[in-house]
Amino acid sequence: MVAYRTLGRSGLKITEITYGNWLTHGSQVENEQATACVRAALDAGITTFDTADTYANTAAESVLGAALKGERRQSLEIFTKVYWPTGPKGANDSGLSRKHVLESIDGSLARLGTDYVDLYQAHRYDNATPLEETMQAFAHVVRQGKALYVGVSEWTAEQIRDGQALASDLGFRLISNQPQYSMLWRVIEDEVVPTSAELGLSQIVWSPVAQGVLTGKYLPGQAAPAGSRGTDSKGGAQMISRFLEQEQTLRRVQDLRPIADELGLTMAQLAVAWVLQNPNVASAIIGASRPEQVAENVRASGVEIPTELLARIDDVLGDSVVSDPRETEKSSPRR
């Protein structure tokens, strides 16, 4: 069964494998199949589920809520997010203004079929709204009991520090950050992770398999496999293009296979296990379009990768690794 870790400087325990439904529920995967994947996650011991109001323009929350209906609410940790456009995408349908935050939490709760979420996350940093206003809105949500904890996603070290200072003044704390993190994408290591550890935040990382690249199924000089994210015209192909355009990176990923074999892991399991070696990572988010993918990835829970093999991974990937901390700030629109 999946192990638990404590989230940040809080008392909340979450499974170190989180089931997420970005790019799947309400979009790539039919509802019946999505429900089967959620059932597989529950059967494997996963109790932590992550979504966002913007996924499939709110449909992903509805699908997840329906799939979890009938489960004991107290036995689940349900996370969602606010920032990106929803609905008709009007002037106030995005961002972290008080208006959008307070309206969005009510919409998310209705779609998820719950009175509260365990973690409500700022999906990006809002450069167009005063941070004081955003933190006051989150404080209001917490006081209303609509969210038990608050986190952020893809915030820089400086933004996290400023946000935590304001949150503390308002009587709550930020306990998590949700960044992209994988063997190939390590932009949080130099600044975000040390700052988070100091201030009491954990990382809940997305794309630990680099949108599927680290599964080894994308081969250098060959077209992306049919039905893979690399062929998804709804957004998946765009997300993965950074890696697929670099044949040297794809070759180096293939060179990781002997390391996975040595550990008795699949390539995907190795990738998920690798992010969990970072002590500031509380959980790795996995997605699935088939139940068997869930069963495969949860086997990464509890795996310990010896130091010498971690060093070999670094040697194999070399300069294919992206580590510039400035990449984090680029993910939040300036307007």
Grouping H, G, I as helix, E, B as strand and the rest as coil, residue 277 is: coil
Q: Which of 94, 82, 96 is nearest to 136 (CA)?
A: 96
**Helices (H), ranges, 170-287:** 192-199, 236-244, 247-254, 257-263, 267-275
Query: What does the block give as tokens for 69?
Result: 């209906």
Among 4, 55, 83, 181, the active-site one is 55
CA distance 160 to 196: 8
According to DSSP, the β-strands at 13-15 and 117-122 are unpaired
Query: Quick check: 18 and 50 in contact, CB under 8 A?
Result: yes
Query: Quick check: 96 and 137 in contact, CB under 8 A?
Result: yes
If you ran DSSP here, which 8-state letter would residue 268 be given?
A: H
Amino acid, single-letter form, for residue 64: L
If you ran DSSP here, which 8-state letter would residue 203 be given?
A: E
Does residue 55 carry a catalytic annotation? yes
Query: What does the block give as tokens for 332?
Result: 């939040």
Considering only CA atoms, give the Rg of the chain.
19
Residues with catalytic roles: 55
